Amino acid sequence: MTRRLAALGIFAAAFALALACAAMRSYAGAMESAADQSVGHPNPAAWPDNALSIATLGHATLLMNYLGVRVLTDPSLFDRVGLAFDSIFTIGPRRVTPPPLAPGELQNLDVILITHAHMDHLDIPSLKRLPKSATVIACDKCSELITPLGFTDVRELKWGESTEIKGLTVRAMAAKHWGKRWPPFGGAYGFNSYVLEKNGVRMLLACDSAATEVFAALASDPPEVAAFSIGAYDPWIRNHANPEQVWAMFQQTGAKYLLPIHWGTFKLSKEPMDEPLSRLIRAAGDQSNRIVLRQIGGTWQLPENDMVRALAAGESSPHAASSPAR
Ligand SMILES: [Zn+2]
Ligand SMILES: [Zn+2]
């Protein structure tokens, strides 16, 4: 009986998702072009281990060499995100820009970060194709989705908790979002933003979030770079900030560079595909040069003078070195 109910639930969820996708397509019309349609092809093998290099692989997926630690965030590497049936097919929005790298090019990873269990962030087919030797750091309760895929080191973090891998500290913090994977069925999973730090070089990876002042807490020891989701605000403004709100949140963090994610890849909402980035650039006005990585597949490296300053601050910090609880 319970099984039959679960099957019914999955069927209903699939049906609801299919309907929602059809509705999205009908009002979206033809796919609008992204701000920059050319897709780059990152070459992570060439990235030095003494720098912070970051490439956008589309949507919320970032590939990084974080001073020698290879990190991948919220991997979605295939044509669609949504309800996956044993990696054979997936019901959900289709990719507008091709993935810059294939899973086979992503086998050298130390850490996979999962912010939350929404289909466009915790994508089972992508995780299945990634190396099981990688440590997965995920939100509360998310290991029940990830461990069965074969990963042996899955670490759940609640807000305020932290862990360390190869000298990279990862601390979970809040956002204004939500965590149900199967609405309206099933329980809620956690949802995490992450503050990353190695040798004093800090970065914020914000979870999808509505406008909130929670990130202002970082300003006393600001990150070098902050990644924020900038799309899916129309009509989902209660859970996703619009570009002007993102610019305000970014400024509150005190970070020097803003790295926009969650744009130009999957059609999840009503706003035109190229609107989030162009609105963000407008909101930034004469400071728009602080917005980095505007091309999917593009690569950015923290400039050397910023790296030197961050490392020096890290060395002189009383709680630097090996304090994973920072
Ligand atoms: Zn989400
Ligand atoms: Zn999302």
pLDDT digits (tens, 9 = 90+) for 208-251: 999 999 999 999 999 999 999 999 999 999 999 999 999 999 99
Cα of 313 to ligand 1 centre, how many Å? 34
Cα of 122 to ligand 1 centre, how many Å? 10
Q: What residue type is 301 in one-letter code?
A: Q
- Range in 86-100, 130-144, 186-200, 217-231 with the lowest mean pLDDT: 86-100
- CA distance readout (Å), 287 to 23, 53, 258: 37, 22, 10
pLDDT at residue 28 in the model: 37
| 3-state per-residue secondary structure call for the chain | CHHHHHHHHHHHHHHHHHHHHHHHHHHHCCCCCCCCCCCCCCCHHHCCCCCEEEEECCCCCEEEEECCEEEEECCCCCCECCEEECCCEEECCEECCCCCCCHHHCCCCCEEECCECCCCCCCHHHHHCCCCCCEEEEECCCHHHHHHHCCCCEEEECCCCEEEECCEEEEEECCCCCCEEECCEEEECCECEEEEEECCEEEEECCCCCCCCHHHHHHHCCCCEEEEECCCCCCCCCCCCCHHHHHHHHHHHCCCEEEEECCCCECCCCCCCCHHHHHHHHHHHHHHHHECCCCCCCEEECCHHHHHHHHHHHHHCCCCCCCCCC
Rounded average pLDDT over 44-50? 97
pLDDT at residue 118 in the model: 94
> pLDDT: is 8 or 232 the higher one?
232
Report how far residue 47's alpha carbon sits from residue 79's, in angstroms, rounded to the nearest whole number.
27
pLDDT at 15 over 50: no
Report how far residue 77's alpha carbon sits from residue 123's, in angstroms, rounded to the nearest whole number.
8
Among the bound ligands, name the one nearest to the CA of residue 177: 1
| pLDDT > 70: percent of the chain | 85
User: What are the tokens at 47?
Assistant: 């990235």
pLDDT at 9 over 90: no
Report how far residue 37's alpha carbon sits from residue 257's, in angstroms, rounded to the nearest whole number.
23
Cα of 232 to ligand 1 centre, how many Å? 9
Among the bound ligands, name the one nearest to the CA of residue 268: 2
Any idea which residue has 């770079």 for tokens? Answer: 225
What is the band of 88 on the pLDDT scale with cuts at 50, 70, 90?
Answer: low
Cα of 227 to ligand 1 centre, how many Å? 15
- Range in 56-60, 116-120, 322-326 with the lowest mean pLDDT: 322-326
Cα of 115 to ligand 1 centre, how many Å? 9
Domain residue spans of the chain: 1-33, 47-316
Rounded average pLDDT over 75-96? 80
Cα of 60 to ligand 2 centre, how many Å? 7
Cα of 65 to ligand 1 centre, how many Å? 25
pLDDT at residue 318 in the model: 57
Rounded average pLDDT over 64-74? 98
pLDDT at residue 7 in the model: 45
Among the bound ligands, name the one nearest to the CA of residue 176: 1
Rounded average pLDDT over 122-131? 96
User: What are the tokens at 122?
Assistant: 């915790």
What is the band of 321 on the pLDDT scale with cuts at 50, 70, 90?
Answer: very low
Report how far residue 308's alpha carbon sits from residue 68's, in angstroms, rounded to the nearest whole number.
16
Among the bound ligands, name the one nearest to the CA of residue 179: 1
Cα of 296 to ligand 2 centre, how many Å? 16
- Range in 188-192, 288-292, 322-326 with the lowest mean pLDDT: 322-326
pLDDT at residue 301 in the model: 98
Rounded average pLDDT over 6-31? 40
What is the band of 319 on the pLDDT scale with cuts at 50, 70, 90?
Answer: low
What is the band of 94 on the pLDDT scale with cuts at 50, 70, 90?
Answer: confident
CA 135 to chain centre: 16
Cα of 232 to ligand 2 centre, how many Å? 7
pLDDT digits (tens, 9 = 90+) for 157-174: 999 999 999 999 999 999
Cα of 95 to ligand 2 centre, how many Å? 14
Among the bound ligands, name the one nearest to the CA of residue 239: 1
Cα of 313 to ligand 2 centre, how many Å? 34
- Class of domain 47-316 (CATH, top level): alpha beta
Cα of 323 to ligand 1 centre, how many Å? 31
Cα of 230 to ligand 2 centre, how many Å? 10
pLDDT at 36 over 90: no
What is the band of 317 on the pLDDT scale with cuts at 50, 70, 90?
Answer: confident
Pairing of β 83-85 and β 89-91? antiparallel
Cα of 2 to ligand 2 centre, how many Å? 30
Q: What residue type is 185 in one-letter code?
A: F
Bridge partners (DSSP) of residue 226 are: 204, 258
Rounded average pLDDT over 188-197? 97
pLDDT at residue 29 in the model: 33
Report how far residue 38's alpha carbon sits from residue 295's, in angstroms, rounded to the nearest whole number.
7
pLDDT at residue 63 in the model: 98
pLDDT at 18 over 50: no
Cα of 166 to ligand 2 centre, how many Å? 28
Cα of 41 to ligand 1 centre, how many Å? 26
